[in-house]
Amino acid sequence: MEVTAATASGSPAARADRWRHSLILVVTRRCDLRCAYCPTVKDGEPDLSADDARRAMALFVERYGGGDAKLFGGEPLLAPDAVRAAVRAAPTSVSVYLSTNGTHLDDRWIAWLVAHPSVTLTLSLDGHEADHDGLRRGGATYASLVAKLPKLLRLPRFVVTQTIAPSTAARAAANFRHLRSLGVQKFNLLPGYYLPWKPAQLAALEANFQAIGDDIEAAWARGEPLYLRNLFVRAPVAFYNTGFVVDSDRRIYANNLVLAGNLDHVRTRASLGTLDTPPTEAALEASAAAAPELLREVLGDALIAATADADAALTRLCNRLYPAYFAARERRTRRVAAAP
């Protein structure tokens, strides 16, 4: 599951450049679902071995000393040895994020997550059953995920990614409220990127972000815990993750945009080496800087413009929420200081 991606939303300056210190580990391209909005090529690629997962983590730590390590796919839980090896190899200076579609999250995985409380689990759950299952061509997963939620909500670090496709934009606020009614308190909102958004769908996205913003501000005013990851994430390319990207075939890139089917043919051009011949930091920087132009060249102006519009709506939501976020944080700090 790759869609826990950073967006180009604004963020506090302290975290603005965190993408530079990110390891994106594609442990497998395989996935048993076929989400309508998913661009990832899933077949015909190898999985990353446990040894290579450890090697990638060691290279990342050697180069950056720490940062965020994001375990992506495909569906990462289909490559359990690589996931466990990467987590075992991560020093405390590395924050590990594991994104999943949840289909393989059984009691053994949940027990493993309980034993590894520093790992942040990000689950893809889009809202009401009709919208969630309607976007998943590989099979309905809503009922099984909701059955697992009580256990997942007890994990110390658990975030739900609510993906908003053009077809569900008009119901995004209703889906957000539904997820809250299920007990979800930590969200990552993800508009579908590089999709042909129509003007009416963009208008619906904007209106629904306004409604979600109203809900969040009201919750914070009441002192309720509600976390929006988008406030703390910034990336130079919308949706795709920039950083030290290790694909499941051991090749290294500055951006995981090469996972997409319509960008598959630029893999050789974008590749910067392998785990045996890793690139310099300068090469990574140069390739990261070239990614927006590469996307424009391959995808065309219309999809780039639609993505920019959807991302701008998310950025407006974040910018609107920062004052309320800081005010709520200030109130919480004062309450803690005043407590006996």
Q: What is the contact surface with ligand SF4 in residues (CB under 6 A)?
A: 1-3, 31, 33-35, 38, 40, 73-75, 101, 124
Smallest gap from Cβ 190 to ligand SF4, in A, equals: 10
The rounded distance, in Å, linking the Cα atoms of 48 and 26 is: 7
Between 35 and 205, name the residue whose CB sits nearer to ligand SF4: 35
Going 96 to 98 to 104 to 110, the CA torsion angle's sign is positive
Between 31 and 228, name the residue whose CB sits nearer to ligand SF4: 31
Smallest gap from Cβ 235 to ligand SF4, in A, equals: 18
Between 220 and 239, name the residue whose CB sits nearer to ligand SF4: 239
Between 162 and 287, name the residue whose CB sits nearer to ligand SF4: 162
Between 101 and 242, name the residue whose CB sits nearer to ligand SF4: 101
Smallest gap from Cβ 63 to ligand SF4, in A, equals: 27
Q: Round the CA-based radius of gyration of the chain to a whole number and report it.
A: 19
The rounded distance, in Å, linking the Cα atoms of 141 and 323 is: 37
Smallest gap from Cβ 154 to ligand SF4, in A, equals: 23
Between 226 and 235, name the residue whose CB sits nearer to ligand SF4: 235
Smallest gap from Cβ 33 to ligand SF4, in A, equals: 4
Smallest gap from Cβ 40 to ligand SF4, in A, equals: 5
135, 161 Cβ separation under 8 angstroms: no
The rounded distance, in Å, linking the Cα atoms of 224 and 206 is: 24
Going 93 to 99 to 102 to 104, the CA torsion angle's sign is negative
Q: Where are the alpha helices (DSSP H) in the chain?
A: 50-64, 80-89, 107-115, 129-134, 142-152, 172-181, 199-221, 267-270, 281-299, 301-338
- 44 half-sphere exposure, CB direction, 13 A CA radius: 5
